Amino acid sequence: MRHNYLFTSESVSEGHPDKVADQISDAIVDLFLSKDPEARIACETLTTTQLVVLAGEIRCKGVFENGAWAEGAKDEIEKTVRNTVKRIGYEQDGFHWESFRFENNLHAQSAHIAQGVDAGENKDEGAGDQGIMFGYATDETPGLMPATLYYSHKILERMAADRHSGAAPFLEPDAKSQVTLRYEGSVPVAATAVVVSTQHKAGYDENDPVRQAELEAYVKGVIADVIPANLLSETEYFINPTGSFEIGGPDGDAGLTGRKIIVDTYGGAAPHGGGAFSGKDPTKVDRSAAYITRYLAKNVVAAGLATRCTIQIAYAIGVSKPLSLYVDTHETGTVGDDKIEQAILGIAKLGGLTPRSIRTHLGLNKPIYQPTAAYGHFGRTADGDFFPWERLDLVDDLKAALA
């Protein structure tokens, strides 16, 4: 392990074109799960200048069955998409929630995939695809997330809140942030660089130095509110380094579902299996198994068994039993990593980490996904049905299993 180093993570706002696509895809997931908890959804979204396109495979009682749409279902889907873009705040000539062109190319789920995933008389529900998924936790922040990503998310969340409330009327929806921290003894001791690029209304650039200074002062104020003062003594700031960022969002760059998987997870501080989350129902282990591994890693750290923990799990399509479980506490564990693996597999309520047991234990067959699609799926606050993978209700079970 290295103990002294610089590390950087980035985030993007809810108005970033890829995040617009993610939020639309997850709005469709929530719509279908609200109708049918056993719905199958794999919804991909493309956004570009005055255009939103949906594509993918679906199955949902009362919405799309036997290859046919229920009456009014297509209209409800389009309304859901437009309302999502409206909530984000796009009312621009190049991308307006009310007037963009919309295409719905969703179609029936493959029968060959369905036969492998669905439970039958002699088989449990299988994984929706093969793949490897990773979870991670670290004690750097109260939410057990990497500090670089935590601060990057919080800067943009605050700016979005100020835009929606009217406190920062010069902001537009698209934005990116990036935070570099210097670590000494594996502890963050200084923010050496902070980058914020934010879309803005006309006039807040180098052509109007007074307004440009107002924007820069506002962003620095947000950074000061988010990052502790003791970390900002040597910070170099890069605020809209291109000088102007008036054209943005899907009008400035096309967006696609699933292109911000590192922003969605751990900011590069942990491995990633490669599968995106948004647009997928919880039978897809790309999503559900990534959630359970985060849940496991977070509870391992919260139980005091390690200060850092990475967990990998692997599946084969149509097979319920995971192929492997791997725990790495990065030489910070208080017990052997193999002992933690055994403890996890021995906890009865986890059900052997089959896809069905993951969905049941975390309560994933509910319309809870749109809030995950901006500012990270992890490090959030468990709140009722939402973000159940952030709960710390496995701590006592782990301790008991390892006693």
Known binding residues for K(+) are: 44
Q: Token pair for residue 325?
A: 């479980």
Annotated binding site for ATP: 16, 174-176, 253, 259-260, 276, 280
Q: Is 356 a catalytic residue?
A: no
**313 close to 321: Cβ distance less than 8 angstroms:** no
Q: Is 76 a catalytic residue?
A: no
Phi and psi torsions of 202, nearest 5°: -55, 135
Q: Is 70 a catalytic residue?
A: no
Rounded Cα–Cα distance for residues 205 and 327 (Å)? 49
Annotated binding site for L-methionine: 57, 109, 253, 284
**173 close to 199: Cβ distance less than 8 angstroms:** yes
Annotated binding site for Mg(2+): 18
**54 close to 23: Cβ distance less than 8 angstroms:** no
- Per DSSP, the residues of 111-147 read HHHHHHHS-BTTBPPPBSS-EEEEEEEETTSTTSS-H
Q: Is 254 a catalytic residue?
A: yes
Q: Is 176 a catalytic residue?
A: yes
Pick the catalytic residue from 16, 200, 287, 359: 16
Q: Is 284 a catalytic residue?
A: yes
Pick the catalytic residue from 253, 272, 314, 316: 253
Percent helix / strand / coil, the chain, rounded to 5 = 35, 25, 35
**119 close to 125: Cβ distance less than 8 angstroms:** yes
Pick the catalytic residue from 154, 200, 284, 361: 284
Pick the catalytic residue from 70, 114, 193, 254: 254
Pick the catalytic residue from 7, 64, 95, 245: 245
Pick the catalytic residue from 35, 55, 57, 339: 57
Q: Is 3 a catalytic residue?
A: no
Alpha-carbon dihedral sign for residues 229, 230, 236, 242 = negative
Pick the catalytic residue from 14, 125, 281, 286: 286
Q: Is 259 a catalytic residue?
A: yes
Rounded Cα–Cα distance for residues 134 and 162 (Å)? 34
Pick the catalytic residue from 26, 36, 44, 281: 44
Pick the catalytic residue from 10, 19, 40, 137: 19
Q: Is 220 a catalytic residue?
A: no
Q: Is 245 a catalytic residue?
A: yes
Residues 6 or more apart in contact with residue 217 via CB below 8 angstroms: none
Annotated binding site: 16, 18, 44, 57, 109, 174-176, 253, 259-260, 276, 280, 284
Pick the catalytic residue from 59, 82, 200, 260: 260
Rounded Cα–Cα distance for residues 110 and 120 (Å)? 17
Pick the catalytic residue from 40, 176, 298, 359: 176
The residues carrying an active-site annotation are 16, 18-19, 44, 57, 176, 245, 253-254, 259-260, 280, 284, 286
